Amino acid sequence: MEEYHRGIGLFNRGAFFEAHEAWEDGWHDAEGLEKKFLQGLVQVAVAFHHHSVGNLVGASSVLERARRNFGEFPEEFGGISVKALLQSLEKWQQALAMGGPYPALPELGKY
C-alpha cells in the first residue's frame, strides 16, 4: 500500500516515470482486481511520460489500454474516482488525436 500512495503523490507532482516505478513495484505482489487496477495506473503514468517526451502516438496507445483496464471498475476504487479519471483520459485522447489543446492533467487524490 505504501507504493500505491507514493505513486499517487508522484503522479500528482508530474513525476510520471517515478509513479510508474512505484506502482509497478506494488503490481508484482498484487492479485485480482487490485493487480488490474495497478496495471491501469502504470499505463496512465507511462502514457503521460510518453506525452512529456513528445511521443504522442505512444501516449494515445497506452491511454487506450488503460481506459479498457479501468472499464470494469466501480465509480470509485482505491480512493480514486475512476469515473473522473476515465472522463479525463477520454478528453486527453481526443486532444492527442487533434494535436491539442491539452486539458489539465488528471489528479488522482491527496497523498
Q: Compute the mean pLDDT over every residue in the chain, rounded to the nearest whole number.
A: 94
H-type alpha helices, the chain: 2-12, 16-29, 32-52, 56-70, 82-98
Q: What is the pLDDT of residue 101?
A: 96
Residue in 54, 23, 45, 53 with CA at minimum distance from that of residue 89: 45
For the domain 2-98, what is the CATH code?
A: 1.10.3450.10
Q: What is the pLDDT of residue 2?
A: 87
Long-range contacts of 77-83 (CB under 8 A, 24+ apart): 77/33, 77/37, 78/4, 78/34, 78/37, 79/109, 80/8, 80/108, 80/109
Q: What pTM, to 2 d.p., does this model score?
A: 0.94
Per-residue pLDDT at 111 exceeds 70? no
Instruction: Convert the pLDDT of each residue in 62-97 to its tens digit.
Output: 999 999 999 889 999 999 999 999 999 999 999 999
Domain boundaries, the chain: 2-98
Instruction: Convert the pLDDT of each residue in 70-79 to its tens digit.
Output: 988 999 999 9
